[in-house]
């Protein structure tokens, strides 16, 4: 009986050791694959750590992983239209998308300087109080007091003002083909000055 128990324990130990030995290289391979995708596709526009190489591309650092993963799946599956990003995401597997989202979300958001202070003050008012005369709600009601968002709603703080402007205009014109229902109703009520002011204020948030 004793020998049988010992044999069972040894067998289980060998099985667990073999499983661990297989899992570790597989995990390492997954990390290498994600890094190759970042180096070969993402870094050119978004920077190696998600800080973005140009104001027209969004900063990905510190963005919520669930939100990043959803956007990548939407690009891949055609729910969000973008010739560049649809091509980049078309062959990504779910595991790779999860890895990319985890990587960029783990990177810290760099500090940003706020632009035109007078426009930023208008943006602060709109962001925190909205515009009751035109029916624009405060951005804080969805994206939080500091613009850090939630798992489902994007972090806005520190985003490139030019990118924020583009997205608001795309929501207004229904050129943004996903997540459009609520944001269209808001963006359609913003004046050009309000779009500019909000973008500058959001870009200076930490």
Q: What is the pLDDT of residue 111?
A: 72
For 48, the domain range is 2-105
Q: What is the pLDDT of residue 26?
A: 63
Same domain, 123 and 99: no
Same domain, 170 and 97: no
Give me the CATH number covering residue 43.
1.10.760.10
Confirm whether 43 is domain-assigned: yes
Confirm whether 112 is domain-assigned: no
Please, which residues have CB within 8 angstroms of residue 1's CB and are 6 or more apart in sequence?
none
Domain count within the chain: 2
Distance between CA atoms of residues 33 and 110, nearest Å:
26
Distance between CA atoms of residues 42 and 50, nearest Å:
8
Distance between CA atoms of residues 125 and 130, nearest Å:
7
Residue pair 84/72 in contact (Cβ under 8 Å)? The answer is: no
Distance between CA atoms of residues 115 and 28, nearest Å:
43
Same domain, 101 and 125: no
Q: What is the pLDDT of residue 130?
A: 98
Number of other residues whose CB lies within 10 A of the CB of residue 102:
13
Tokens of 72: 């990548």
Confirm whether 110 is domain-assigned: no
Same domain, 9 and 92: yes
Domain boundary among 77, 105, 133: 105
List the chain pLDDT tens, one digit each, 206 residues.
Answer: 444 443 444 444 444 454 454 445 667 888 999 999 999 999 999 999 999 979 999 999 999 999 999 999 999 999 999 999 999 999 999 999 999 999 999 999 987 777 899 999 999 999 999 999 999 999 999 999 999 999 999 999 999 999 999 999 999 999 999 999 999 999 999 999 999 999 999 999 98
Confirm whether 30 is domain-assigned: yes
Same domain, 12 and 88: yes
Confirm whether 111 is domain-assigned: no
Q: For 137, which DSSP code?
A: P
Nearest Cα residue to 190 out of 170, 162, 161: 170
Same domain, 79 and 146: no
Same domain, 128 and 183: yes
Tokens of 129: 């109080």
């Amino acid at each position: 009986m004793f020998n049988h128990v010992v044999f069972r324990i040894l067998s289980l130990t060998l099985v667990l050791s073999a499983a661990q030995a297989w899992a570790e290289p597989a995990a390492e391979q997954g990390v290498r694959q994600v890094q190759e995708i970042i180096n070969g596709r993402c870094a050119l526009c978004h920077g190696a750590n998600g800080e973005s190489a140009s104001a027209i591309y969004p900063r990905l650092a510190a963005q919520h992983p669930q939100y990043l993963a959803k956007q990548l799946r939407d690009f891949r599956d055609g729910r969000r239209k973008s010739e560049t990003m649809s091509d980049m995401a078309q062959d990504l597997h779910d595991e790779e998308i999860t890895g990319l989202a985890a990587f960029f979300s783990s990177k810290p958001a760099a500090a940003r300087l706020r632009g035109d202070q007078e426009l930023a003050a208008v943006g602060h008012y709109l962001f925190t109080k909205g515009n009751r005369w035109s029916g624009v709600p405060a951005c804080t009601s969805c994206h939080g007091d500091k613009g850090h968002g939630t798992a489902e709603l994007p972090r806005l703080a520190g985003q490139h003002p030019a990118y924020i402007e583009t997205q608001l205009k795309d929501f207004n014109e229904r050129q943004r083909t996903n997540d459009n229902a609520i944001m269209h109703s808001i963006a359609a009520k913003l004046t050009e000055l309000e779009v500019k002011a909000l973008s500058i204020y959001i870009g200076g948030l930490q």
